[in-house]
Every structure is written in structure tokens, then in C-alpha cells.
Amino acid sequence: MEKVKEARGDTGNVAIEIPSELRHYDERRWFLATQVAEVKKFSLQPVQDFVDLAASVQRGELVPLPAVTDTYILFGVGARVDGDAFTRYVADQNLALNDEAGLRDAYARLETEHAELQKELSDLQTQAQSDFAAVKDRANTKQAELDKNGAVARPSGRAFDIAALRQKIKSNEEDKALLNRYYGQSSGSSASGSRLLRDYDLLQALARNFGGRSFNLDDASDRQTLKVYLLSSLRPPALKMLEEIAKRYHDQFARPLPVSSLIRPEQYQHALRRVNRYAVTIDTPPHSTGLAFDIDYRYMSIAEQNFVMNELARLKNEGRIEVIRERGANYHVFAFIDGQRPSDELITAALDEVGPPAPVAQLLEKESQQQTSARVETKSRAAKNPRRSPKSTRIRSSRRSGGRQ
């Protein structure tokens, strides 16, 4: 970690040269569509949640990586995970994962909540009827209007309370219906054969022996650590690519390559999107395939960044990866399984899956913002180094930028 972060010192008048291979295509959807096309080409199933991820590791489809090797270090992988209980991610919903005892408790909680809500609703309706009767007894009061629920709309304002309670009851019933649906109790049958119980058993078995360590699923700290371990995984072709890039970097600079992200289940990807605008939420997010990883360039010198970018550009030209330089201080790398880029026909067919084309006005606005940002940055760097006037396509600096742009 210290080797990654240590100050590089003055690198002299070195320019950051971003190869065209690491920039967006004119058709901006082409970048994501290329990765989706690879998924379609090999009929890969993206990982939905941590349970899916655990199953993939158990089947050997994904390989857990050590946190540190001679050539790379996992640098912030899983930094956003929490110790919450494991859930199943189905139809954009998180379904609680239980054993049989936990399932009985869940049903008991819902039944108790339902009874309490029904009693509260009954009491409120009785009070509303009493209010209505009192209003009718006052001759000088305008005629009270009943809302469709039978409650007094204006005199007491209870109609809103009754509607809110009915919504809570509806939500309670929907939660119970979900349990019935996914735990197989809709007809009163035993849940012992349900998929979610089997999922819990699978996760429990993996937690008891994961890489020689044992984790207690009832302990929040253990759950959080296990999630980080699961997120430290890749498919073998992507791991091979990571190791190749890391070795080249380490041989050149005697530093471990900082890798900031590997596999990300769709469930985690959606949660991450709230704090990371680069975490895409299309139907097939590249990181959910286990073929993508991110390289963190925040602490690299300009010379290091140029070296890594040139290596990535070479690999892309060889048809072995898709790659882009993100302004969030990462190089996003996607490895092709057989070392061959998908055909243009497959990529074209995948364009609609990554969303509609951006409106022309939006593209023009982005281009204008980028040009303005580039001019400001160029002037700033030129002021620091007045002897040389940097070109618009290059960023010159006499000091280490730390990779932030």
C-alpha cells in the first residue's frame, strides 16, 4: 500500500498522452455494446447477487484473487460493502435469505404487524364515524362529505390516516405474498424444498470454508468480510489479462499495480450507482460478468500512466480487450474470453441493449464542457510551465498530477 501511494517526486516536463484507443468512440454506445456482444457471444449469465457470486466461485467459474501479490494489489475492492444480511436480488427487489428458523420468524413478524395494523384501522374508522355523527348533530355546520373510504374528509382529516394505514396493510400483504412465492408456501406446503432455502444452505456451506477461512453468517463483521472476499474474484481469462498487465507494470516501475474493482454483482452495482456515476446499470453491466476490472491511476506518475495506457492501447489493438480511461481515476478493462474481439455485426446488434443514442443537443453540450475544461486545464498547466505552450491534445505538467483530471 505504501509503495502504491508514495510520492514520485518531480517527473520533469512530461506530458500525459491519452491514446485514442482509451477514448470514447464517436458512437458512444459502441464501448458498452462491445462488452454486451461478448456476453451474448458466449451466452454468459451475469451475476445477480452475492448468492449467485458464491455459487459461481463454488463451481470454479470465478477465481478468488489474493489481496496482494508481487505484481498487483487489490486497492479498495469492496470498499462500499456493508454487513447487512445476504439477500436475493429478484426483479429489482432484495429478498431476505433465511434458514427455516429465520423464515418462521419472518412470517411471525408479518402476521403480528398485520394484526396490529388491522386493529389500528378498525379503531380509526370507529373514530371517523363518531366524528361524522357529531358533525351532523351541529345544525350550523355545513354538510359533511364522506370520502370513498367512509371517513370524514374535512372535519377530522382522518381520511388521510385511513388511506395511509390501508397502504401499509397492502405492503404487508405484498411482503407475505413474496415469501409465499419464493419460499413455496402459497398452498400451505412445506418450504423445505424452496430455492431460497437451498440458496441459504449453499452460502452457509461456502462460508464455513472459504479459502481456508470460516465465516459466521449471523455476524455482521463476518458477513462484510465474506462479501469483500467474494468481490475479489474474476473469470480466468480476465485474471490472465490482469496478471499480464501487472507484470509489465511491475517490471518497469517495481511497484504493484493497484486494482480497484473486479466482479460486481448487479445487486451491488445498483447500490454503488448512488455514489459512483461510472457504475452503469444496464441489463448486462460489464463488471457483473467477471470479465472486467479497474486499474486505479490516482497515485501513478505521468510516466507510469503513459506506460499503462500504451500497454492497454496495444492490447486493444490486438483485439484482446476493450478499455477506456475514466475520469474517475480508473482504467476500465474488459477481457475477451478467446482473445478475439466480437464481430461488428454482434456489436451493432447489441447497441439497443445499452440504451438509445444520446440526443444531439446533449452531445454538443458535453463536447462544449469538455473543450472548456481542457482549455482551463491547459492554461493552468501552461502558467506553471510558461516556456512551453501545451497543445490541446496533450496535457503538460512540470509536477506530478496524481492522475486527477
Residue 181: per-residue pLDDT: 80
Burial (CB count <10 Å: 0-12, 13-18, 19+), residue 337:
middle
* Helices of type H across 232-277: 236-253, 266-272
Does a structural domain hold residue 351? yes
Q: Do both 179 and 270 map to the same domain?
A: no
Identity of the highest mean pLDDT range in 81-95, 129-143, 217-231, 267-281: 217-231
Number of structural domains the chain divides into: 2
DSSP-based helix, strand, coil % in the chain, nearest 5: 50, 10, 40
Q: Do both 152 and 251 map to the same domain?
A: no
Of the residues 192, 207, 222, the one at which a domain ends: 207
The confidence band for 404, taking pLDDT boundaries of 50, 70 and 90, is very low
Which of 16, 106, 2 is CA-nearest to residue 391? Answer: 16
Q: Which residue has the cell 466482479?
A: 263
Residue 374: per-residue pLDDT: 47
How far apart CA 277 and CA 286 sit, in angstroms, is: 15
Q: Which long-range contacts (CB under 8 A, 24 or more apart) does 309-313 make?
A: 309/17, 309/18, 309/19, 309/22, 310/19, 311/245, 311/248, 311/249, 312/19, 312/21, 312/22, 312/245, 313/19, 313/20, 313/21, 313/22
Question: Could you count the other beta carbons within 10 Å of the beta carbon of residue 40?
Answer: 15
Domain interval for residue 339: 2-86+230-397
Residue 377: per-residue pLDDT: 46
Q: Do both 105 and 79 map to the same domain?
A: no
Does a structural domain hold residue 215? no
Residue 158: per-residue pLDDT: 67
Q: Do both 374 and 246 map to the same domain?
A: yes
Q: Is the pLDDT of residue 289 over 80?
A: yes
Q: Please, how many CA atoms are within 13 Å of residue 262, restricted to the half-sphere of its CB?
A: 31
The confidence band for 10, taking pLDDT boundaries of 50, 70 and 90, is low
Of the residues 207, 222, 243, the one at which a domain ends: 207
Does a structural domain hold residue 358? yes
How far apart CA 245 and CA 171 sit, in angstroms, is: 51
Under a CB-based contact definition with an 8 Å cutoff, are residues 285 and 272 in contact?
A: no
DSSP, collapsed to helix, strand or coil, labels residue 136 as helix
Cell of 44: 454468459
Does a structural domain hold residue 301? yes
Q: Which residue has the cell 447497441?
A: 351
CA gyration radius for the chain?
28
The confidence band for 282, taking pLDDT boundaries of 50, 70 and 90, is low
Does a structural domain hold residue 178? yes
Looking at residue 34, its amino acid is: T
Does a structural domain hold residue 294? yes
Q: Do both 250 and 183 map to the same domain?
A: no
Q: Do both 269 and 385 map to the same domain?
A: yes
How far apart CA 164 and CA 158 sit, in angstroms, is: 10
Q: Do both 143 and 186 map to the same domain?
A: yes
The confidence band for 277, taking pLDDT boundaries of 50, 70 and 90, is low
The confidence band for 69, taking pLDDT boundaries of 50, 70 and 90, is very high
Q: Is the pLDDT of residue 159 over 80?
A: no
The confidence band for 262, taking pLDDT boundaries of 50, 70 and 90, is very high
Which of 303, 285, 302 is CA-nearest to residue 294? Answer: 285
Under a CB-based contact definition with an 8 Å cutoff, are residues 65 and 240 in contact?
A: no
Q: Do both 254 and 359 map to the same domain?
A: yes
Of the residues 207, 240, 275, the one at which a domain ends: 207
Does a structural domain hold residue 213? no
Residue 89: per-residue pLDDT: 86
Does a structural domain hold residue 403? no
Question: Could you count the other beta carbons within 10 Å of the beta carbon of residue 74?
Answer: 21
Q: Is the pLDDT of residue 169 over 50?
A: yes
Under a CB-based contact definition with an 8 Å cutoff, are residues 234 and 63 in contact?
A: yes
Q: Do both 379 and 300 map to the same domain?
A: yes
Q: Do both 234 and 380 map to the same domain?
A: yes
Residue 178: per-residue pLDDT: 81
The confidence band for 364, taking pLDDT boundaries of 50, 70 and 90, is very low
Q: Is the pLDDT of residue 140 over 50?
A: no
* pTM of this structure: 0.72
Under a CB-based contact definition with an 8 Å cutoff, are residues 353 and 283 in contact?
A: yes
Q: Which long-range contacts (CB under 8 A, 24 or more apart) does 162-167 make?
A: 162/121, 162/124, 162/125, 162/128, 165/117, 165/120, 165/121, 165/124, 166/121
Q: Is the pLDDT of residue 168 over 50?
A: yes
Q: Do both 33 and 149 map to the same domain?
A: no
Q: Do both 60 and 158 map to the same domain?
A: no
Burial (CB count <10 Å: 0-12, 13-18, 19+), residue 221:
exposed
